[in-house]
Chain A
């Protein structure tokens, strides 16, 4: 099949980017989207041009590295599919595809379609953990977890941190990501000791990174390649408000060192 690709090209973080148009012939419908870009890059290199930079690692839909916006849809038009798992058969011969990087002030473009998502890592550092004693591992079934909680927690834990929710959100909010992490740990007994402090600290880091507020549009849920639900946002909001209105978790080490 024959395609016209309009791709955002930007030399580095500080350069001013622009769209470039590339015609591409001989695309097999069995190729994945990234393989199609590999073919384009081979051609560009052959012509002595700079290949298109895009992030990728596993190409199995599990690492969360890949991702850009195809014709206004993060990860392309297939629901619950990362762009590395997207196949060219979903497009038609003669299609024009516009490829843009995730657009958010918290995700600066590093090059072409690659953005810096370390803001998400800093949110995780604020509370995406549980504290346990070191030493011998506990007996596997010592702490009981209800089936319901474990299911919901596992669903939230499916988040691969690709950033598609931010890309899709009209406000560039990372609330789906942040809430998935809060719910994933907050639903389990092991996550209880830090539950409300976690919501408070991760929410505050979310804002400090420059992500937008959640307007409950639902675009994040529709774009998420892992099917993370917005009900996580409601739960995280509840945890956050609880932390501010009722529980008041400690923010730093206490004065007496305890």
Chain B
């Protein structure tokens, strides 16, 4: 039998959980970004896309449960590994000269929480509006009971400079997080030997640039009223 507890107790097992959940979440953000490109094709296109996502409510809730579960596990793994890491080096060096680690890898523990705050606010902003976001910003509309007016809501939100800038910064952090994470997750799962490493790096960097860059382009275009 698969001993889930035993896997979780080992650091390599926890890393595998972190990597696998990271993969699920990364996969989602790719689709999410591509879908949001609809904003460039006008109001109808965006709203139809929004309505399509809500067409089968059961599916939407299933996706939410999977993504929410992945996120919770991803954070739990991070907390466990961070503790283990701190316990492993109780006394810091006086001089540290990094050679191979990057700004992306060394800031994972900071960009992660920024992205988490972003996710919470983003859900309050655009998914659960009407439930608790009135205090954040007024003027959201629902197309019908299930489908929000995606275009109106997105543009209203991101045209507010504070939110627009916050979304851009948060997505830059997200890009940093992925730049390291998207390669590391393959290595943690044992999927990148010598032969695959080059391909994995290229694919991961390309997709990271696509997702973070795409999101930033969308937010910037709305903030600057290129898309109204």
A interface residues (Cβ-Cβ under 8 A, vs B): 6, 19, 69, 71-73, 77, 98, 100, 103-106, 152, 168, 170-173, 175, 203-204, 206-207, 210-219, 221-223, 229-231, 233-242, 244-245, 248
Contact = CB atoms under 8 A, between A and B. Distances in A.
Contacts of B88: 104-106, 171-173, 210-212
Give 4 nearest A-B pairs by CB, closest first.
Answer: A238-B190, A72-B97, A212-B88, A218-B100
A238 B196 CA distance: 14
Interface string B176-200: 0000100110111111111001000
B213 interface: no
A234 B88 CA distance: 21
Nearest to A230: B187
A170 B183 CA distance: 18
Interface string B184-228: 101111111110010000000000000000000000000000000
Interface stretch (B3-11, B43-51, B134-142): B3-11
A77 B97 CA distance: 9
A213 B7 CA distance: 13
Contact of A240 (B2, B12, B100, B105): B12
Contacts of B92: 103
Contacts of A72: 93, 95-97
Contact of B187 (A69, A103, A216): A216
B3 A244 contact: yes
Given A234-B193, A235-B193, A238-B190, A215 B184 contact: yes
Contacts of A172: 85, 88-89
A100 B91 CA distance: 11
Contacts of A207: 9-11, 84
Nearest to B11: A213
22 contacts: A72-B96, A72-B97, A98-B95, A100-B95, A105-B89, A106-B88, A171-B88, A213-B11, A213-B84, A214-B12, A214-B188, A215-B85, A216-B183, A217-B100, A217-B105, A231-B194, A234-B186, A240-B190, A241-B12, A241-B13, A244-B3, A248-B2
A111 B188 CA distance: 36
Q: Which of A6, A106, A170, A235 has the most CB of B within 10 A?
A: A170
Nearest to A206: B11
Contacts of A245: 2, 7
A222 B16 contact: no
A79 B106 CA distance: 22
Interface size class of B (residues with CB under 8 A): 35 or more
Contacts of A71: 95, 97
Contacts of A105: 87-90
A100 B100 CA distance: 20
B184 A234 contact: no
Contact of B101 (A100, A170, A235): A170
Contacts of B13: 240-241, 244
Nearest to A245: B2
Interface in B51-110: 81, 84-85, 87-102, 105-106, 108
Contacts of B129: none
Given A222-B99, A238-B190, A241-B13, 11 more contacts: A71-B97, A72-B97, A104-B89, A207-B11, A212-B89, A216-B105, A217-B105, A219-B101, A231-B193, A240-B10, A241-B190
A167 to B, nearest CB: 9
A25 B200 CA distance: 51
Nearest to B99: A222
A213 B15 contact: yes
A238 B191 contact: yes
B14 interface: yes
Nearest to A179: B12
Nearest to B15: A213
A185 to B, nearest CB: 17
Nearest to B4: A244
Contact of B188 (A98, A222, A237): A237
